[in-house]
């Protein structure tokens, strides 16, 4: 089958280190940490008091009060990022075939804040005898994709991908394949998450997944460092406009990079822990490279999953060494989670955007907060503590999720 080529023509972000793509990218290159003490709620009853929150966001700056009644925070974040991405792509909805514009948007936890608050109110007797009529439509994970299509009139393929922390990377992969197969001309894709709430912090802390470095939030996310103790929960959204190449050229769109392939696998190993030798991660990267028609030695950069957890930060570098052999030492790796925290279902999209910008700008943002080498981790080039200027022609962006879900996305300089 003659698959169509696909390019990235628009980007949008809302993150703990910037509420636009330009702010996000500048903060990455400057090594800014988005972590701090939790302000969204009183965390004094919990073990973890730190998170990477979106800063300076006001819903009323983007939506009227009637709209806000119908939107959980995760959907608000998604719509804001998509708005920036569409403007960045220069898309005029009156000049494209809306039947050929689709939306695949991921979320790991959906409207969890709405779910929490509605149940608390019910248990306290505030909603007897009824729930909010928007309870269901604010909570379901697919509603962000639905809201995007309603706002802009996009009538192409429309759904949500849910694969824990790989959710938005899976959304991008699905969107790529839709375009390659000619099911659409344009796909709006990415993911959104807003889980910095008591049940989010409490639940992940009870799994011993979160850093408890409450006295030093800015250095709490320490991917690949010997003294890492868990991830910092983040929130936000990332959106990409993917477009069939000839369609993009016909309308004179600017092109950031070409997305050339994806690898999707399962560890089939454990509900939360990654395979100790990175078996699924290795397979996903190999598939993404083969899908692209490239060679292992063509890879210049990998934006790793790199969460700052004891097990995951060992298995992924091991997978890199097993797959690439000697070439592993010529790849520049990084973990942008050291700055953004872990955006869960939005992580794959936000990190894909960082990877696209590395390909476009020939520079790899740093992995901050590295203090001590871990002898259990292969000593590769992790771009520790400062950005690495280098030619980036071909790069991978990895995202892995609880349940053993693995996704690797491949981007090439256009």
pLDDT of the residue at 131: 87
Q: What is the mean pLDDT of each run of 10 residues along the chain (414 residues)?
A: 95 98 98 98 98 98 97 98 98 96 98 95 75 94 98 98 98 98 98 98 97 98 98 98 98 98 97 94 98 98 98 97 98 98 98 98 98 97 98 98 97 98
C-alpha span between 37 and 166 (Å, rounded) = 26
pLDDT of the residue at 1: 73
Check: CB of residue 158 under 8 Å from CB of residue 184. Answer: no
Burial of 190 (0-12, 13-18, 19+ CB in 10 A): buried
The residues near 30 (Cβ < 8 Å, ≥ 6 apart) are none
Among residues 203, 199, 175, 202, which one has the least CA distance to residue 187? 175
93 Ramachandran zone, left/alpha/beta (phi>0; psi -120 to 50): alpha
Any idea what the Cα angle at residue 170 is, between residues 258 and 320, rounded to 5°? 75
Residue 319 φ/ψ, nearest 5 degrees: -65, -40
Any idea what the Cα angle at residue 242 is, between residues 237 and 248, rounded to 5°? 140
Q: How far is CA 122 from its chain centroid? A: 33
* CA atoms 166, 35, 351, 106: torsion sign: positive
Among residues 281, 349, 284, 303, which one has the least CA distance to residue 106? 349
Instruction: Please give the biggest Cα pair distance in the chain.
Output: 66
Domains and CATH numbers, the chain: 8-250 (3.40.47.10), 261-412 (3.40.47.10)
pLDDT of the residue at 128: 60
**pTM higher than 0.75:** yes
Catalytic residue chosen out of the listed positions 48, 144, 165, 262: 165
Catalytic: 49? no
Catalytic residue chosen out of the listed positions 49, 247, 305, 370: 305
Q: How far is CA 192 from its chain centroid? A: 8
Catalytic: 165? yes
Check: CB of residue 396 under 8 Å from CB of residue 354. Answer: no
The residues near 133 (Cβ < 8 Å, ≥ 6 apart) are none
pLDDT of the residue at 339: 98
Catalytic residue chosen out of the listed positions 49, 342, 370, 405: 342
Place of tokens 């659409």: 184
Catalytic: 405? no
Q: Helices 112-123 and 73-89, interaxial angle, to 10°?
A: 160
């Amino acid at each position: 089958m003659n698959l169509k080529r696909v390019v990235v023509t628009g980007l949008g972000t809302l993150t703990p280190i910037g509420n636009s793509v330009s702010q996000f990218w500048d903060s990455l290159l400057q090594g800014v940490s988005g972590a701090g003490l939790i302000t969204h709620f009183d965390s004094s009853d919990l073990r973890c008091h730190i998170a990477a929150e979106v800063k300076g966001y006001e819903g009323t700056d983007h939506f009227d009060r009637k709209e806000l009644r119908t939107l959980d925070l995760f959907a608000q974040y998604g719509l804001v990022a998509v708005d920036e991405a569409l403007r960045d792509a220069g898309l005029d909805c009156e000049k494209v075939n809306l039947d050929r514009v689709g939306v695949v948007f991921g979320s790991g936890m959906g409207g969890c804040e709405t779910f929490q608050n509605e149940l608390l109110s019910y248990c306290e007797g505030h909603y007897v005898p009824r729930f909010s009529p928007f309870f269901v439509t604010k909570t379901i994970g697919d509603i962000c994709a639905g809201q995007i299509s309603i706002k802009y009139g996009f009538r192409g393929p429309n759904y949500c991908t849910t694969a824990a922390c790989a959710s938005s990377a899976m959304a991008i992969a699905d969107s790529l394949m839709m375009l390659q197969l000619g099911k659409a001309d344009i796909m709006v894709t990415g993911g959104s998450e807003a889980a910095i709430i008591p049940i989010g912090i409490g639940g992940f802390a009870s799994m011993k997944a979160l850093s408890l470095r409450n006295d030093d939030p800015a250095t709490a996310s320490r991917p690949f460092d010997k003294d890492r103790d868990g991830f910092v929960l983040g929130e936000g959204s990332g959106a990409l406009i993917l477009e069939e190449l000839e369609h993009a050229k016909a309308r004179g769109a600017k092109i950031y990079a070409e997305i050339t392939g994806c690898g999707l696998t399962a560890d089939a190993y454990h509900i939360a822990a990654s395979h100790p030798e990175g078996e699924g991660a290795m397979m996903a990267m190999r598939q993404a490279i083969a899908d692209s028609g490239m060679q292992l030695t063509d890879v210049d950069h990998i934006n790793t999953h790199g969460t700052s957890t004891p097990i995951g930060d060992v298995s992924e570098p091991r997978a890199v060494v097993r797959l690439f052999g000697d070439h592993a030492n010529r790849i520049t790796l990084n973990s942008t989670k050291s700055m953004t925290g872990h955006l869960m279902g939005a992580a794959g999209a936000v990190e894909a955007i960082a990877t696209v910008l590395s390909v476009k700008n020939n520079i790899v943002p740093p992995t901050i907060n590295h203090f001590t080498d871990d002898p259990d981790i292969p000593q590769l080039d992790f771009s520790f503590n400062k950005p690495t200027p280098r030619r980036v022609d071909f790069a991978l962006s990895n995202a892995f999720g609880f349940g053993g879900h693995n996704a690797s996305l491949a981007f090439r300089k256009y």
